[in-house]
Chain A
Amino acid sequence: MMAPFFKYGMFGDEVSLIVAFIIGIGFGFFLERAGFGSARKLAAQFYFTDMTVLKVMFTAIVTAMLGVYYLSIIGWMDLSMVYLTPTNIMPQVVGGLLLGFGFVIGGYCPGTSCVSAATGRTDGIVYLLGVVFGIFGFGEVFPLVSGFYNSTLMGQVTLPQFFNLPYGVVVFLVVVMAVSAFVAAEWGEKNMAKKAEAKK
């Protein structure tokens, strides 16, 4: 048995939809448990008073990275069969900035807005409607922006390829980066809390 199961033909399209549904439910459940159904908690990230978003996301990245890396090393997974989204650097930078603006203004990212809407929050539902409206709007103007959308293609790049470093070194550096970020986040939260106290 070798992962990715779908690519190796362990199950077909129909079963893959059921698997995606179960994983999606799990993803939403844990986002909600982390408190990401609340726009206040999410927006606090940008004021450095609550770094939960950074901690949860970086933990997820490090866990997934170590899992995928070790599963490939012991031969339970074929990393070359995992799809990588190609990098179009400029459109993705602009897209990232847009998402950031939306995040800090509206208080959600697309995934968390679904979680929020599912828990019945009005702002989450409105945000989700905006997401759907945006999808259709983008579809309508796509012919106008398709040139930019497809520009600056770099292919399927990974960090080890881009920096020409061995994979293990990149794995280690990302872990060190994450743990440093956690330490800095804890320290920042304490400082911001003190400042907030002093203001009172």
Chain B
Amino acid sequence: MKNLTLNKKLAFIAIGLGFIGLFLGNPYKGNLVSMNTTELGMIVESKVDHVSVQDLADWIIQSKMDFKLIDLRTEQEYNEYHIPNSDNITLTALEKTSIPKTEKIVLYSEGGIHSAQAWMLLKAKGYKGVYILFGGLEDWKDQILFPKLSETATPEQIAKFEKTKEVSKFFGGTPSVGGTADVKTETPKMEMPKLDNQSGNKAPDGAPKKKKEGC
């Protein structure tokens, strides 16, 4: 080794490192992906990736938990209130999540922007069944927790509201009659249901059993 010049020693080190490299694998670690933009465009356009708050409420009531519900908001917001059975995973944490790629995932955020961004992120990472809660937590509050029945409601609407009321009570909400349902008024400070008061996914006695619905 002593009679080797510095150049030769460096060359041997380089060859050695290159040789070890043969067994070390990919330095990108799967962060770079390619996406089928046509397919994604078609999914977005057909809205098959949407889940309505009513559907989600039904699934939770029926204990149909074959999916993972993810709350994308901050930990503080999650601790204040979250939809039963949801897990809190923020966007940055979602990037490193170890959820199996075959799992069905429903995403929700306050409105819909973060869910849409997270949807794209998971799709890019190769997740197959990713869905967005349409309208996010805002729709959940408006339509599930604090639904309103207009004073001028038709008998049909009144009949429908009976079911809505039950669903709302299940989640600890307060349905109200009066006001105009069509015009979204600034909701007066409504008391969000306490987390431990929520029935969760346990079907209450006497809760109407609905037939299973697909997504």
Within 8 Å of chain A (Cβ to Cβ): is B177? no
Considering the complex, give the chain B residue whose CB is closest to the CB of A183. Answer: B11
Which residues from A are CB-within-8-Å of B27?
68-69, 72-73, 79, 167
Write the residues of chain A forming the contact surface with B, with a CB cutoff of 8 angstroms: 59, 62-63, 66, 68-70, 72-73, 78-81, 160, 166-169, 171-172, 174-176, 178-179, 182
Which residues from A are CB-within-8-Å of B92?
none
Complex-state Cα separation, A167 to B29, whole angstroms: 11
Which residues from A are CB-within-8-Å of B29?
72, 80
Cross-chain contact A172 with B25 (CB below 8 angstroms): no
Within 8 A of A (CB), among B135-194: none
Within 8 A of A (CB), among B7-27: 7, 10-11, 14-15, 17-19, 21-27
| Given known contacts A62-B14, A175-B15, A179-B11, A79 and B21 CB-to-CB distance under 8 angstroms | no
Contact of B18 among A160, A166, A174 (CB under 8 A): A174
How many residues of B sit at the interface, in one of the four size bands? 10 to 19
Cross-chain contact B21 with A168 (CB below 8 angstroms): yes
Cross-chain contact B17 with A166 (CB below 8 angstroms): no
CB A184 to nearest CB in B, in angstroms, measures 13
Within 8 Å of chain A (Cβ to Cβ): is B42? no
Complex-state Cα separation, A73 to B168, whole angstroms: 52
CB A55 to nearest CB in B, in angstroms, measures 9
Within 8 Å of chain A (Cβ to Cβ): is B3? no
Complex-state Cα separation, A160 to B27, whole angstroms: 11
Cross-chain contact A66 with B14 (CB below 8 angstroms): yes
Complex-state Cα separation, A63 to B14, whole angstroms: 8
